Chains A and B, each alone.
Chain A
């Protein structure tokens, strides 16, 4: 029984990784169809930490999520805990395409001041996925 449980546990890890990979590759394919390509984790990382002037001062993705994606963040206004973005420590991340798009829409508008382009979204995903 114990061995069986261990087998299941080990079985679940690659399963969730596949789920995240599937959702991301689907999203990236969509961005490519919009003309984007050559997604770069490096560019994604730079944009993640880029400061943008908003009503409440300078903000970046890291303002709420933190610069270390494997650690939990804190909402800059409400103080609410935000679970880590890195799929390596939070396997639920990047598994639901609708959720990913919802937060891109909200957070790009709030932080960058406008919707992200397909290229930007692809670069962000590439960066988050490497964590």
Chain B
């Protein structure tokens, strides 16, 4: 092999490396929104308020405040007498304390890589109440067939985070922690 050929192959290999890492890099960028801006600790900050975990978590998964913007939490906490068809009234004092916690940790107040993506799928004045119907949520689950979630008696709906996301309570929703009842691990 002559010197020119060796140089050529090295150059080619170098170009390929740069090109491939470029693709990987851009994917990473897309996946994490703002690359490097937030530590890869969890997807959404976990629930830190014990009262919230008890009061709200006795009926359903205690959704992390980072799933919704402040305007949504205010609307939701102001209509607890009709909470998705059920009465979930709280004493005024408790309601106020929990509202403060939710609002103080809302997606638009305490941003992280996940909440940025949640917000970017919302109009500025949109105040959704159902986390399971967020544009972000639908997009993330678009490839999951109904038989695994809606028609799966052990899951039922996208609102049962912890049914498949084994580390949901800790704020982790990445693929590694997925275990769909009756189907097992899921990879994109």
Instruction: Evaluate contact between B85 and A78: CB separation under 8 angstroms.
Output: no
Min CB distance, B185 to chain A, in Å? 21
Instruction: Evaluate contact between A56 and B85: CB separation under 8 angstroms.
Output: yes
Asked if A2 is an interface residue, CB under 8 A from chain B, the answer is no
CA distance A80 to B93 in the complex (A): 26
A-B Cβ contacts below 8 A, count: 37
Q: Closest chain B residue to A56 by CB distance?
A: B85
Q: Closest chain A residue to B60 by CB distance?
A: A78
Q: A74-93: contact bitstring with B at CB < 8 Å (1 yes, 0 no)? A: 01011110100000000000
Q: Closest chain B residue to A103 by CB distance?
A: B58
List the A side residues contacting B59 at CB < 8 Å: 75, 78, 80
Query: Interface stretch among A41-49, A106-114, A123-131?
Result: A106-114
Asked if B22 is an interface residue, CB under 8 A from chain A, the answer is no
Min CB distance, B130 to chain A, in Å? 12
Min CB distance, A80 to chain B, in Å? 6
Q: A36-56: contact bitstring with B at CB < 8 Å (1 yes, 0 no)? A: 000000000000000000111
8 Å CB contact of A78 from B81, B87, B91, B159: B159
Instruction: Evaluate contact between A75 and B88: CB separation under 8 angstroms.
Output: no
Instruction: Evaluate contact between A79 and B163: CB separation under 8 angstroms.
Output: yes
List the B side residues contacting A82 at CB < 8 Å: 58
- Residues of chain A at the chain B interface (Cβ within 8 Å): 54-56, 75, 77-80, 82, 102, 105-107, 109-110
Chain A to chain B contacts (Cβ below 8 Å), 19 pairs:
A54-B85, A55-B85, A56-B85, A77-B86, A78-B60, A78-B61, A78-B160, A79-B156, A79-B160, A80-B59, A82-B58, A102-B90, A102-B91, A106-B88, A107-B87, A109-B81, A109-B87, A110-B85, A110-B87
